[in-house]
Amino acid sequence: MSRTIVVTGAGSGIGACVRERYLKEGDLVIGVDLRGADIEADLSTPEGRAAAVAAVTETVGPDGAVDALITCAGLSVDKEVTVRVNYFGTTEVVAGLRPLLAASPAPRVVLIGSIAGGAHPNDPAVIDACLSGDETAAVAAARAAVEAGSGYVLYPSSKNAVAQWARRTAVSAGWADAGIAVNVVAPGIVLTPMSAELFADAQMKELMDAAVPMPLHGYAAADDVARVVCFLADAATTHVTGQVLYVDGGAETTLRPTTQF
């Protein structure tokens, strides 16, 4: 049976691969991105997020539902916008589409986190402000980090907060009890336009290689991640929720071998 799938960041990289996979299955895919997507919206602003939710609602119609929501929109720059898009551009869209997810017989949410969220230095002030839903405070904390010369903590902080939000939300009222599974796929290094930009700088590539050791198969292709996303979003994957699944060639296990036990 054809499903309705919403993919943010559908215009590039992992999101584009997820979109392609569902189109091949004959599903209805509603892509959201800054440009070149079914719905063009800027997820760095509350207005853009609300417009995206409204446009999805209009697209599926009054009796429609969203069977899966995959949030791939994101960026990695040492500026406040990283927190705005990666955290608020994810969580507000997921929350806004909850009623349409609840209308599906097998709703699934998959958020894209990162190895950085689990294993790289972060800023608790940014994370706390995100988790309290206070975008103004989160942006102020992010700005303070940039001014202190530690803007590199913003990306890991945004992804850590996404993972924590997903775990809390998964078992909150209105989610698991409505049959909605919420999970995170946390990639290591994936060969996409985002990483290509970072790899263009030889020193940055060296830093990334050291920060994300991938003994199993090395760098991933975007479709290696999309495959796992689709597994979690499958209607037949029934009992997995609140999990952060690392698709990182062993990086997380290398960096923190005992954390989970």
Contact between 15 and ligand NAI (CB under 6 A)? yes
Contact between 229 and ligand NAI (CB under 6 A)? no
Q: Which of residues 60-79 bind ligand NAI (CB under 6 A)?
A: 72-76
Nearer to ligand NAI, 111 or 129 (CB): 111
Only segment of 59-67, 96-104, 135-143, 189-197 that touches ligand NAI (CB under 6 A)? 189-197
Contact between 13 and ligand NAI (CB under 6 A)? yes
Only segment of 58-66, 95-103, 143-151, 184-192 that touches ligand NAI (CB under 6 A)? 184-192
Catalytic site residue from 22, 155, 219, 246? 155
Nearer to ligand NAI, 9 or 151 (CB): 9
Contact between 169 and ligand NAI (CB under 6 A)? no
Annotated catalytic, 155? yes
Contact between 166 and ligand NAI (CB under 6 A)? no
Interface residue with ligand NAI among 30, 85, 94, 139 (CB under 6 A) is: 85
Least spacing, CB of residue 179 vs ligand NAI, in Å:
26
CB half-sphere exposure, 107, CA atoms < 13 A:
24
Site string for ligand NAI, 88-107 (x = CB under 6 A): -x------------------
Contact between 55 and ligand NAI (CB under 6 A)? no
Q: Which residue is nearest to ligand NAI (CB)?
A: 13
Only segment of 54-62, 128-136, 192-200, 238-246 that touches ligand NAI (CB under 6 A)? 192-200
- Alpha-carbon 196 to chain mean position: 19
Q: Identify which of 104, 105, 81, 116 has the alpha carbon closest to the alpha carbon of residue 189.
A: 116
Instruction: Say how far apart CA 215 and CA 194 lie, in whole Å.
Output: 22
Instruction: Say how far apart CA 150 and CA 54 lie, in whole Å.
Output: 36
Active site residue ranges: 155
Residues in the site for ligand NAI, rule: CB under 6 A?
Answer: 9, 11-15, 33-34, 42-44, 72-76, 85, 89, 112, 114, 187, 189-190, 192-195, 222
